[in-house]
Amino acid sequence: MKKIVLALGLASSLGSTSVPAFAAAPADVAPADRYFGRLQMSILGVRNALHDLSARLDAHPEDAEHVYDKALLVEDALHDWAKKFPKDPWIPKYAYALAELYRKVDTDEARTAMNDALDWLISSYPSSEYARMGRI
């Protein structure tokens, strides 16, 4: 009990010169409780959908048409996210993952979507490591 009282006393004596225990998130990063696109996907939802769709395609290549349709909705959420938080450092990673998902679908429509996703990634986030990967 004495340790708690001592710690509280020390904390209160620091006054306004102390650093807050939790810093506010930068305005550039989308909060986890924001929702984007027609499906109102969270940033975790975008991440999970890209992962799950890729795994589904690996396990069931015959589902490519359905995966492509769902990927379009994820892309809609990703573009909405980028519109509202254009400097969010997570966007290039997921834009690249989206392009890779389209590559795995392997249809003419998906190849066009892959190229469009890579063009967007490279033009919007040219200094990101994912843009460099997309140029290869």
Mapping DSSP to helix (H, G, I), strand (E, B) and coil, where does residue 79 land? Answer: helix
Using CA atoms of 23, 27, 30, 32 in order, give the dihedral in degrees to the nearest 10: 30
**65-106 confidence digits (pLDDT tens):** 999 999 999 999 999 999 999 999 999 999 999 999 999 998
Among the four given CATH numbers 1.10.1160, 1.25.40, 1.10.1760, 1.10.287, the one describing domain 28-135: 1.25.40
Q: Where are the domains of the chain?
A: 28-135
Q: Residue range 9-22: average pLDDT?
A: 42
Q: What is the pLDDT of residues 22-58, one digit of tens each?
A: 343 567 899 989 999 999 999 999 999 999 999 999 9
Structure pTM?
0.78
HSE at residue 31, side-chain half, CA atoms within 13 A, is: 5
